[in-house]
Amino acid sequence: MNRRPIVTYAGDNSLFSGLQAGLVTGLPQESVEWRRSYGRPSRCVHVEVDFVPFSEECLVKDAPRTILGQPIFHTYWTDCADVEAYKSVTKDSLQAWIFSLKQQSVTDWMVILLETPDTRKGNKLLPRTTVLDKIKNDFGGKQAERCLSVIDPLKSDSRSMESWQTLLTKMRHLLMVAYNRALNKFEESMRAERERRTEKSWSFCSYFLLQEELAQVFHLLALYDEALIQYDELDALFTQFILNSAAGDSPPWLGIYSQPCEKWEGLHLTPHLDTVVQGKIQSKDVTLLEFRNYLFQRQCALLFQLNKPWEVASRSLTFLQNTVGELNILDVTVAPGGVACWGVLSCLEIIDSLHRYKEPSTTDAHALHTAPLWAYARDKLQELGSLCGLMPGSATSSAQLHTVISLVCGMGNDPHTHDQPTDNPPTSQDTPMTRLKDSLSSPQAFKKHFLDLSEVAISTYKHIGRIRSARLIGRDLATFYTAQGEPQKAATFLTDQLTMFLEEGWLLLAAQTHLDLAKCYLATNDLERYIRTCAQLAGSVVLGADVRKQHFNKMMTAIQDVQEGSSLLIPSDRIFEIGGVKLVSEGRIILQSEVKVELSVLSKLPDDVSCGTVYIMLQHSLEDNNETPTKRIAEVERKTSSSSASSQPSRDKPQASAMVHRSGSSTTEADRTNVPTDTGDSDGAKINPMTQPLHMSLHLEYKQDKSLSSAAVTCSNSHKVLSHLVNYLSRDWSDVVLLTEKWRRDSQGGLYKVDRNVVKEELEDRFVADDVIIRPGQNTIILSTKVTKKGRYSASQVVLALDKVEFICGKTSVGGSPMCVEVVSEIPRIFLGRRDRDLLAGIYQPMVLTVHSGSWQIAKGTSVKLRTSRGLSVKCDEEDQNCKTLERELEASLPEVSPFSSVAIPLTVMAELGPQRDAATVEHTVGISSPIIDQRLDIDVHFIPPFMSSHKLHTANTYKFIEVTVTGLVSRAVELTDPMLTVLDPEQQFKLTSLHPPTQSLVVCTKQTASYLWALEVDYEQEGTPPIKLEFTLQYRPLDENSQPLPEDPRNYKYMFDLQDYKTLYNIRARVEPSKGSELCRAGNMCHLHIALKQVSSKSPANETDGTSTQQATQHSIMYEVLADQTMWAVCGRTAGVLTLEGGLRQSVTMDVMPLTGGFLPLPSVRLSKYIPADSKQTTTKDGGRKMEYVGSASSVPRLQPFTAGQVYNFSKAQQVHVLPASNTLQGDLSVT
């Protein structure tokens, strides 16, 4: 395909010859936009042309039947520089050239005037008109742009180069305009020809060459996709004609393709045109195979140039199958094996071509389509082997040898013989034809090539994930190896095939595969696998009864040949169906007792089977890693408040135990008690994970090219389910791995491995039944065992043992809910708790002692000892008990208690109520010991006090009053009587006078308090202030719901407290007086605040009026502070100072204050504090007095010490003064200020 568009040149031929080389190389260097007609998108193309001299013979007036080889553009070249010379010579020649073009209606032309720089320099005077202007005026008309001048490109100046590039750009544009016009005419002619396809004289061969020429034009323009569209249209048109002929509409020209095919040359994918076949098409002497090869070869060449080799691979199988179908439709006569030879050669040629264009990014895309090609070539080669007698087990006859010779002759010459050498030239043995000829040369060579093709096809199918197709090829290989006499290799492929059939549910196909496997195992004398296969065939429900019976007898006969002392393990998944395991024993089962279960077995065998032993393996585990229900209950009860208590069970004492059947989501006996249970992670092991929902989701995997690779359904919470399953069944990690492998699809596409090794678990514990006959259909077997250990038992493998064969059913294949039996050993537990309400201190309270026997039988007279802490006493309320009085130690005798029963002993407790100053609870400890528990239990018991007491000292100048308040803390009412307050030290002579009725009874509760008041006479003649120790006592007893006293003796309550610094030392008197000239105080006016401080004499109050005292001041320096409400008073000057009372008992201070508002205002308060200088400290004497000592430390600082309550009495406290409101004028001034 080296034909290019033709451009003619006229005028000065010698001038053009010097420029032709530059034009040929310069035009394709840059692309030009091709603006296409009919709304088609524009394309950028590179223009390559051939120049030929102009002649009138090359001009065709009619619509062209071809476009290649016809001139599409015409040029005229001249270098005339003088106008006169142009008029005399050039104009006539140019006019004749233009006239010839117009006669043929040619409008695509161009005139080029060559100018030299020397000519322009010689003409110093510019002429009025130039030669180019003359040409444009004479011939340009409306197309003056077709006349162009160019400076001699042989010069190297910039103007010459720019002028040359302008010429190339203009010529490219005009060339594409001419090309577009010529293509439009050609396409109109082609469409008109296609519309005539229903005429009898129409020929597809002629039309094919016409549209192929259009494809070649697009190919010249590097528009490979447009060229491919033309060939695809031809392919579709030809296919439609053949399909129509199958329906009876056969055109006359189609008979050309029905001629016999004497050659079956394969594809030759080359980028060059096959001129031989093209000539046959033109002469209408082409066969169908030759035409199809030629058309597909052109399509592949364009696809390779488009860098789409994967599309070549995707079209190939369809091409091969459609071509064979067309041969059948047209009844084309082909020698036997000819089509098969053509198919093998074509497949190998396509695959070799794809390998040459193979890239890492397109490997998967190739493999997706090359796998069927390898399989197709293998099938056709197998067909040739059967035809030529090259398959195993057949001998080659003379007729088959003649067939081979004729087939080799029909292949023709090897098209790769004259290929151009490449970087990696293929040897003669690598070409498809050489390989096929070698395959047909001998059975050994055929076997080699056939196995190579099969292996490549299988591996390619596996690579793209089409496991089923790979397995089908493997089945053919199994047949091949069986005929070859190699059953061990055939068994490998049959096993893979069987795996696929079983996992996809093709039971009949699986049974047929089992039949083939049985023959292979019998031929290889593999007794173990032969017995397994016969067992599977005997249990197959899709086979006839005779076949099943026959293989059952073969299995029983073969079992006799098993060596003595060995046991053959057979998986029973599809032979026996285990419906489930059900616990038969009722009630609680104690250790050493017999436990029975019922096993449902569905036998698929055609005859009875005598089993010496049937047993169920039991996995045993201790609950060391998880909390037992007893332990959880004990921990919860220990954490309860008030009087709740629990006992810690001992896991080391092997006492009586009970077996509780657990199935599904049922709970143990301990879990069903009305005791709060823990909500920790240990409960996850108590829920059957096999009954929990699985959260499933769709999982899609994609390849690098975004195509779907695989689809799967995954479980998002599988880790949680598996972890719970491990805890529930107490499996080892190896068992978990086996379980997950059972659920996981392996890389070869199998969920189940047929020829796997069966592993039998060796466990000590098992349910056993001896001498069992299993009949066809449903069977029920009772198995039993003795429980000798506590813990948890879960059903594992089910084993049906014959003489020398054991059928193993895995634990995951057992139907129904997983059986889990738990043996729980419960020790006795002792609880101490309250009955109905909170416990109160100081009042008789009921409690109950509860003993739970667990799995023990508690004998009558078993003792339970209780020992309380100091302050707590207990007694038993039952009549048959000896302890009737409140004591700190109690010993109760228990009646006979059967296992899993409880007994309650009522108790009465009394916690002493001491001096209660707050609402804190009273804590006591009760120790419980008994022979039925291993260690002593220490239980904390909390009592709430019914009330609390507090005191307060009140002062009225020198008189003192003591108030004792009793506050109720609980809702239960308590009656208080006989309150008394006494001085504990008999040497202190203090008189206490009761100010409340002595026989009065009061009731306290949470919303009610009681207060008592006594007057205390203080002797001020006594030096110092000795502390007074007082004791407050009363009688109390509880009331019932009707506020009536309970029939109990009142109990005594004592409350001791001390009084210190109770004497009055100072009193204060304050008053506010108006300033001079005013009678009343007025807001805004200055007033005087008088403060009088007096030290109380140590004498009695009757002798204070004389103003003398023999007692010296116990405090020499007093600090006073005036605290006034800033919204009412404004204090002028200092608000604090230090007064020294040395030499007198009275001191007075006057300061100015200003009321800020009118009304009855409270007086500013005065606060006194003890002032301790920097060089002294205060100490307390033995008699309670205080004195000052000088320490001589200059680093210390003065400090203040407040007086205790009652040492300072303020006479003016809560007094008010009447203040008049301010006058209007003064009020205005105040507001302005």
Whether 76 and 31 have beta carbons less than 8 Å apart is answered as no
At 963 the three-state DSSP class reads strand
Continuous segment of H or E residues that includes residue 295: helix 288-305
If you average pLDDT over every residue of the chain, what do you get?
81
Euclidean distance between CA atoms 73 and 175, whole angstroms: 7
pLDDT category, 756, cuts 50, 70, 90? low
| Beta bridge partners of residue 43, listed in sequence order | 34
Q: Tell me the pLDDT band of 1103, cut-offs 50, 70 and 90.
A: very low
Which is higher by pLDDT, 968 or 754?
968
Q: Number of C-alpha atoms within 13 angstroms, CB side, residue 481?
A: 22
Range scoring the smallest mean pLDDT among 625-634, 712-721, 1153-1162: 625-634
Task: Cite the DSSP H helix spans in 485-576.
Answer: 487-504, 507-523, 527-538, 545-559
pLDDT digits (tens, 9 = 90+) for 212-229: 988 988 888 888 999 999
For residue 598, give every residue at least 6 positions away whose Cβ sits within 8 Å of its Cβ, in sequence order, or none.
581, 582, 583, 584, 780, 781, 782, 783
Specify the pLDDT at position 487. Answer: 92
Q: Is 25 exposed, middle or buried (0-12, 13-18, 19+ CB in 10 A)?
A: exposed
Candidate ranges 29-43, 123-137, 440-454, 1181-1195; pick with highest mean pLDDT: 440-454
Beta strand 1208-1210 with 1066-1074: parallel, antiparallel or unpaired? parallel
State how far the Cα of 811 lies from the Cα of 818, in Å rounded to an integer. 9
Model confidence over 126-149: pLDDT tens digits?
556 788 888 888 887 777 888 888
At residue 720 the predicted structure's pLDDT band, cuts being 50, 70 and 90, is low
Report pLDDT for 1222: 87
Q: Are strands 1216-1220 and 1159-1162 parallel, antiparallel or unpaired?
A: antiparallel
The string of pLDDT tens digits covering residues 790-837 is 888 888 889 999 888 889 988 888 888 888 887 777 788 999 988 877
Most confident of 307-311, 515-519, 655-659, 1101-1105: 515-519
Locus of tokens 């009305």: 674
Longest dimension (CA), the chain: 169
Rounded Cα distance, 1228 and 1222, in Å:
9
For 925, residues 6+ apart whose C-beta sits below 8 A from its C-beta are: 868, 869, 938, 939, 940, 941
pLDDT for residue 943 is more than 80? yes
What's the token pair of residue 1180?
A: 């307390």
Element (DSSP H or E) covering residue 980: strand 974-983
pLDDT exceeds 70 at position 722: no
Residue 1231 reports pLDDT greater than 50 = no
Query: Using the 8-state DSSP alphabet, how is residue 1109 labeled?
Result: -
Q: Can you say whether the dihedral through the CA atoms of 744, 749, 754, 759 is positive or negative?
A: negative
Euclidean distance between CA atoms 533 and 551, whole angstroms: 9
Handedness of CA 723, 724, 727, 731 (dihedral sign): negative
pLDDT for position 661: 32
> Where are the alpha helices (H) located in 429-506, listed in sequence order?
432-439, 443-463, 467-484, 487-504
d(CA 694, CA 722): 11
Structure tokens at 593: 């007792």
Rg (CA), the chain: 61
Q: CA–CA separation, 954 vs 1013, rounded Å?
A: 10
What's the rounded Cα separation, in Å, for the pair 378 and 474? 12
> What are 184-200's pLDDT values in tens digits?
888 888 888 899 988 88
- pLDDT tops 70 at residue 545: yes
**CA dihedral (1069, 1070, 1074, 1075) positive or negative:** positive
Indicate the burial class of 1151 (C-beta count within 10 angstroms; 0-12, 13-18, 19 or more).
middle
Distance (Å, whole) CA 384 – CA 366: 26
Asked if residue 1109 has pLDDT above 80, the reply is no
Q: Which residue has the higher pLDDT, 1215 or 137?
A: 1215
Residues 664, 69: Cα–Cα separation, whole Å:
90
How far apart (Å, rounded) are the C-alpha atoms in residues 761 and 752? 20
| pLDDT-wise least confident of 706-720, 747-761, 771-785, 946-960 | 747-761
Least confident of 96-105, 364-373, 990-999, 1215-1224: 364-373
Predicted pLDDT of residue 660: 30
pLDDT at 692 (0 to 100): 60
pLDDT at site 689: 52
Range from 429-438, 640-649, 1094-1103 that averages highest in pLDDT: 429-438
pLDDT of residue 294: 93
How far, rounded to the nearest angstrom, does the alpha carbon of residue 22 sit from its chain's CA centroid? 69
The C-alpha angle with vertex 500 and arms to 499 and 503, in degrees rounded to 5, equals 85
pLDDT score at 739: 40
What the block records as the tokens of 739 is 């379980």
pLDDT in the model for residue 663: 31
Tell me what the mean pLDDT of segment 422-449 comes to.
Answer: 78
Say what percent of the chain tops pLDDT 90: 33
Give every CB contact of residue 693 below 8 A, 6+ residues apart in sequence. none
Cα end-to-end distance, the chain, whole Å: 116
Rounded CA gap, 670 and 902, in Å? Answer: 13
| Residue 361: band (very low, low, confident or very high) from pLDDT cuts 50, 70, 90 | low
Q: How many CB atoms lie within 10 A of CB 1046?
A: 12
Q: For 1023-1069, how does the pLDDT look when each residue is reduced to its tens digit (9 = 90+)?
A: 888 899 999 999 999 998 888 888 888 999 999 999 988 888 889 99
Distance CA 682, CA 679 (A): 8
pLDDT of residue 952: 92
Give me the pLDDT at residue 573, please: 81
**Residue 584 CA: distances (Å) to CA of 151, 252, 783, 850:** 116, 88, 9, 34
Confidence of residue 1105 (pLDDT cuts 50, 70, 90): very low
* Helical axes 443-463 vs 467-484, angle rounded to 10°: 160
